[in-house]
């Protein structure tokens, strides 16, 4: 089912949680609401679910106005950050809950409930835990049970609030690909909230970047990562190196030299350039052109090595990622002076919305 | 190495258990034993005649009946009060919260006199009930009112922290799964607070059985009708019938102990039952 959020605004006292948000969530897609904590993404999710009411605006589910509908009637599956599994019920009863509370006329017979719950537990690969209490499960298992419980009522929409927020890194990674697989099998329109850009990039069909109650950018993971609309999005989607300078004739001018810019035209006397760590090259030759910097620390493990440097002029800090092989060739050690050459940089002139 | 092998991570078991046993013996067990020893000075026939006297039997019925009823009433309304205090914010909430404890702090005789004054035939509330044919002061109903009054804090104060602990998320989860408000309360909230509620019920009941001061004023103390067991004990003491007083006391103790034991067993059973698949 498609979801449309129209002119939604929400204030808590003097604090604007959401300011006039309009968004479309296409049918069958997995969308990430990505943003820093306190940006309003969870509030938006709760408004879509009907757990919170907006001050103004409308929620349309499959074209029909659901703004006034109670959460009970919206047919949304909501997975809570801390799972909210009923502690006094077994895993089986937790999943069966949504079926058991149906009005008598719609309630399936016991045998059907049993079959359906076991099928869902199979789906989340935890059928062997049916008789356990939630307290006896690990975090990852609880998350999957919470998902099975939400799916039991056959929701039109699945909403997940920081689904992996409370899990450790390894489990998080496993669950991530598992959830993507599940979504590909079920194709329920799903929205999840996260502050982890890696999670959003890896998992979602579409990413909505939210900041301070506003939508900064909407697009595919590739689009938001490669063509960030503004400095905020750029900074939020990955680590970046920052250079101050000016833009003229499609070139970015800074102390270390002039570099070709992909996205800026016109003349800007004050602009900030952003460079991803893997878009900086290290040049050790004495006559090299680039930003002079001194090596501070070298972190060489795995296939990609990280080099931390500080600028010779100014207080700049740089982070460079290069293949481990190249690092060996460069033969760097802390204290070396090198030149940094940007292979690609994006410039956001000052005064543009979202720039810092 | 023998000494090392028995070393526990949490030390002090022997000491604290020793303190517990000595303390309980001095404060609870020995005085209670004295009741039974004193009772034993009666012959079996005397004992039976004392404890099965019509006045005594009527008082057991009144004391235990009204205490159970009062505890039940408090369980219902105490739960609602605790709910309101935990879930909603309203002006004067702090004051209401403090009011709950007043029955604890008030000398029970004062409570008794105040209740009597209000519910007597010419009292504030009593005068309006009188034409309707409802009498509260000097009837068993009066006893019930007094016991409800003094038992209220027990339920509220045991349920309140558990409710505070129960995140609103659980209710939201139930609602998102299609549960009505009633289903949410009965299937999610109540099972979670049931152990605390039973504890509050048991405490309110125990307090009700032992209550003396507030009841004797409002009860009217008519033999066979509104005479509570503690009053019978006092009457016997005033007549220097110590053995008779302790005999009645022993009956109270045995019944109270049995009832509290049953409540505890019920609680343990419901905890086990709730966790299993139903």
For residue A305, give the H/E element and its range.
strand A304-311
Of the candidates B169, B276, B277, the beta carbon closest to that of A80 is on B169
With CA atoms as reference, the chain B residue closest to A110 would be B278
The pair of structure tokens assigned to B166 is 């129960």
Q: Read off the pLDDT of each residue in A56-79 and give the average, rounded to a whole number.
A: 88
The pair of structure tokens assigned to A15 is 């604090």
Whether pLDDT at B274 is above 70: no
Whether pLDDT at B40 is above 90: no
Residue B186 sits at the chain A interface (C-beta within 8 Å): no
Residues A97, B176: C-beta atoms closer than 8 Å: no
Whether pLDDT at B191 is above 70: yes
Q: Lowest mean pLDDT: which of A249-263, A295-309, A316-330? A: A249-263
Distances (CA, A) of A183 to A125, A153, A163: 15, 16, 14
Q: Measured between CA atoms, how close is B75 to chain A, in angstroms? A: 20
Whether pLDDT at B127 is above 50: yes
Residue A104 sits at the chain B interface (C-beta within 8 Å): no
Q: Measured between CA atoms, how close is B196 to chain A, in angstroms? A: 14
- Residues in chain A, overall count: 356
Confidence of residue B278 (pLDDT cuts 50, 70, 90): very low
Residues A82, B188: C-beta atoms closer than 8 Å: no
Whether pLDDT at A352 is above 60: no
Select the residue from A76, A79, A89 to test the B interface by mutation, using most B Cβ atoms within 10 A: A89
Contact residues, chain B, for A149 at CB < 8 Å: 173, 177
The pair of structure tokens assigned to B126 is 């009593």
Cα-based torsion angle of the residue sequence A209, A211, A215, A221 in order, rounded to the nearest 10 degrees: -10
Q: Which residue has the tokens 């349920």?
A: B159
Of the candidates A80, A86, A131, the beta carbon closest to that of B188 is on A86
Confidence of residue B276 (pLDDT cuts 50, 70, 90): very low
Contact residues, chain B, for A49 at CB < 8 Å: 176
Q: Measured between CA atoms, how close is A235 to chain B, in angstroms? A: 33
Q: Measured between CA atoms, how close is A181 to chain B, in angstroms? A: 24
User: Which CATH code, of 3.40.640.10, 3.40.250.10, 1.10.3720.10, 3.40.50.2300, is assigned to B43-277?
Assistant: 1.10.3720.10
d(CA B171, CA B173): 5
Phi-psi region of A33 (alpha: psi -120 to 50; beta: other; left: phi over 0): beta
Count of helices and strands (H, E) across chain A: 9, 20
Residue B192 sits at the chain A interface (C-beta within 8 Å): yes
Residues A80, B172: C-beta atoms closer than 8 Å: yes
Domain extent listing, chain B: 1-40, 43-277
pLDDT of residue B4: 52
Q: Read off the pLDDT of each residue in A250-265 and give the average, rounded to a whole number.
A: 77
Q: Measured between CA atoms, how close is A76 to chain B, in angstroms? A: 7
Query: Buried b / exposed e across A287-310, counting CB within 10 Å, b at 16+?
Result: eeebbbbebeebeeeeeebbbbbe
Q: Measured between CA atoms, how close is B200 to chain A, in angstroms? A: 20
For B217-262, write each residue's pLDDT tens digit: 888 888 888 889 999 999 999 999 888 899 999 999 999 999 889 9
- Partners of B191 in the β-ladder: none
Confidence of residue B271 (pLDDT cuts 50, 70, 90): confident
The pair of structure tokens assigned to B160 is 């309140």
Residues B169, A82: C-beta atoms closer than 8 Å: yes
For A168-189, write each residue's pLDDT tens digit: 888 888 888 888 988 998 889 9
Secondary structure class of A201 (helix, strand, coil) = helix
Contact residues, chain A, for B274 at CB < 8 Å: 88-89
d(CA A160, CA A185): 17
Residues A150, B275: C-beta atoms closer than 8 Å: no
ipTM of the complex model: 0.82
Residues A90, B276: C-beta atoms closer than 8 Å: yes
Task: Starting at the earlier edge strand, list the strands of the sheet with A76-79.
Answer: A76-79, A157-161, A189-194, A30-34, A206-211, A214-219
Contact residues, chain B, for A102 at CB < 8 Å: 178
Which of B187, B195, B171 is CA-nearest to residue B79? B195
């Amino acid at each position: 089912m498609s979801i449309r959020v129209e002119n939604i605004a929400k204030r808590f006292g003097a604090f604007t949680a959401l300011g006039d948000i309009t968004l479309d969530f296409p049918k069958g897609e997995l969308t990430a609401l990505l943003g820093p904590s306190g940006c309003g993404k969870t509030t938006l999710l709760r408004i879509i679910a009907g757990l919170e009411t907006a001050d103004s605006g409308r929620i349309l589910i499959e074209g029909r106005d659901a703004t006034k509908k109670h959460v009970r009637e919206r047919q949304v599956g909501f997975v809570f950050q801390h799972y909210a599994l009923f502690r006094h019920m077994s895993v089986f009863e937790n999943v069966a809950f949504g079926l058991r509370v149906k009005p008598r006329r719609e309630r399936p017979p016991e045998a059907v409930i049993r079959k359906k719950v076991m099928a869902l537990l199979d789906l989340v690969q935890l059928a062997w835990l049916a008789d356990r209490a939630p307290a006896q499960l690990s975090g990852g298992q609880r998350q999957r049970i919470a998902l099975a419980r939400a799916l039991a009522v056959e929701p039109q929409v699945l909403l997940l609030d920081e689904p992996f927020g409370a899990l450790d890194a390894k489990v998080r990674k496993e669950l991530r690909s598992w959830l993507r697989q599940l979504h590909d099998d079920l194709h329920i329109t799903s929205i999840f909230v996260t502050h982890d850009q890696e999670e959003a990039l890896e998992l979602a069909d579409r990413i909505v970047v939210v900041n301070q109650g506003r939508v900064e950018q909407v697009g595919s993971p590739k689009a938001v990562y490669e063509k960030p609309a503004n400095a905020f999005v750029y900074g939020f989607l990955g680590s970046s190196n920052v250079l101050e300078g000016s833009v003229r004739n499609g070139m970015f001018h800074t102390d270390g030299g002039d570099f070709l810019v992909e996205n800026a035209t016109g003349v800007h006397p004050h602009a900030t350039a952003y460079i991803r760590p893997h878009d900086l090259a290290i040049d050790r030759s004495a006559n090299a052109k680039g930003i002079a910097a001194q090596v501070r620390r070298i972190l060489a493990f795995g296939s990609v090595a990280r080099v931390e440097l500080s600028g010779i002029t100014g207080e700049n800090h740089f982070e460079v990622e290069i293949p481990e092989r190249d690092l060996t060739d460069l033969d760097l050690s802390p204290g070396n002076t090198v030149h940094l050459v940007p292979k690609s940089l994006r410039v956001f002139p000052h005064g543009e919305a979202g720039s810092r | 190495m023998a000494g090392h092998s028995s070393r526990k991570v949490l030390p002090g078991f022997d000491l604290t258990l020793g303190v517990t046993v000595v303390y309980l013996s001095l404060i609870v067990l020995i005085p209670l034993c004295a009741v039974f020893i004193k009772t034993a000075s009666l012959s079996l026939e005397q004992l039976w005649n004392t404890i099965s006297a019509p006045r005594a039997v009527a008082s057991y019925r009144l004391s235990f009946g009204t205490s159970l009823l009062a505890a039940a009433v408090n369980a219902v309304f105490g739960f609602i009060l605790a709910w309101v205090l935990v879930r909603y914010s309203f002006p004067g909430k702090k004051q209401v919260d403090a009011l709950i404890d007043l029955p604890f702090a008030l000398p029970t005789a004062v409570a008794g006199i105040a209740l009597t004054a209000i519910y007597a035939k010419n009292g504030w509330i009593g005068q309006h009930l009188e034409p309707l044919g409802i009498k509260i002061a000097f009837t068993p109903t009066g006893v019930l009112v007094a016991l409800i009054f003094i038992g209220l804090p027990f339920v509220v104060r045991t349920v309140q922290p558990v409710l505070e602990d129960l995140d609103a998320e659980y209710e939201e989860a139930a609602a998102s799964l299609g549960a009505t408000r009633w289903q949410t309360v009965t299937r999610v909230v109540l099972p979670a607070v049931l152990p605390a509620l039973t504890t509050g019920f048991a405490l309110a009941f125990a307090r009700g059985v032992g209550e003396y001061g507030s009841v004797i004023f409002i009860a009217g103390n008519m033999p066979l009708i509104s005479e509570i067991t503690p009053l019978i004990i006092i009457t016997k003491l005033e007549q220097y019938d110590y053995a008779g007083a302790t005999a009645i006391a022993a009956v109270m103790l045995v019944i109270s102990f049995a009832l509290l034991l049953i409540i505890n067993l019920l609680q343990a059973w419901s905890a086990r039952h709730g966790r299993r698949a139903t």
